[in-house]
Amino acid sequence: MTAACSSGKRNMTPEQALQELMQGNARFVSAAPARIASPETRVIDGQAPFAAILGCSDARVPLELIFNRGFNDLFVVRVAGNIIGPNELASLQYAALHLRVPLILVLGHTFCGAITAALAPKEERTKEPAAIQRLLRQIDPAIAQVDASVPLAERVAGAVTANAQRIVKRLKSERTLQSLVQDEKLLIAGAVYDLHSGRVTLLAE
């Protein structure tokens, strides 16, 4: 990875970075996106993203598109179920410490396949390869927070929210990130993307 370069984006506060993301999503939802990519922006000497996003690998959630952003705007980490393992954590720490992004957004989404798979009966989960089973076990703490008596669709929705909120809480407890949050240099927030509306909704802590 390349060291960050100077840019007007680097002067954003955490709150301004979050506002910039949400304004981009509003443009996406309204089907009035700005033109944010040009040949001149494709070759850049250094990275200067204004936000890092931990999102799901789901092909229906292209992060730069739903936030109407382009080259060098977002530092994106994607993994099924937007879980946080050692590699994902290291990537986000890099973004915060070396690229000095003022915002980390943990983004879940409706109808998440990984969450749905984690909610499957035990006998079905054990048929999956070992690596997939390990991934699903990382979602189990979120599932434990959901009422098992409600319909599956409600359980999926509840677990998506719980999963994002749990990961936000974990990131805030990481020592290297915690100090940046305390110094008001970094904001860590959670949100959910709705596949139907295209809208991103911020989550309460």
Q: Over the stretch 145-191, which tens digit does the pLDDT of each residue have?
A: 999 999 999 999 999 999 999 999 999 999 999 999 999 999 999 99
Distance CA 86, CA 102 (A): 21
Indicate whether 188 belongs to any domain. Answer: yes
Indicate whether 5 belongs to any domain. Answer: no
Which burial class, exposed, middle or buried, applies to 130 when counting CB atoms under 10 A from its CB (0-12, 13-18, 19+)? Answer: exposed
Mean pLDDT throughout 88-94?
98
Mean pLDDT throughout 2-21?
73
Indicate whether 42 belongs to any domain. Answer: no
Indicate whether 2 belongs to any domain. Answer: no
Indicate whether 14 belongs to any domain. Answer: yes
Indicate whether 40 belongs to any domain. Answer: no
Indicate whether 16 belongs to any domain. Answer: yes
Mean pLDDT throughout 1-5?
43
Distance CA 132, CA 46 (A): 35
Indicate whether 41 belongs to any domain. Answer: no
| Three-state secondary-structure class, residue 131 | helix
> Does the structure show a pLDDT above 70 at 8?
no
Strand order of the β-sheet with 187-193 is 74-78, 51-55, 103-109, 187-193, 200-202
What is the span of the domain harbouring residue 93?
10-34+47-202
Q: What CATH number did the domain enclosing 170 receive?
A: 3.40.1050.10
Number of structural domains found in the chain: 1
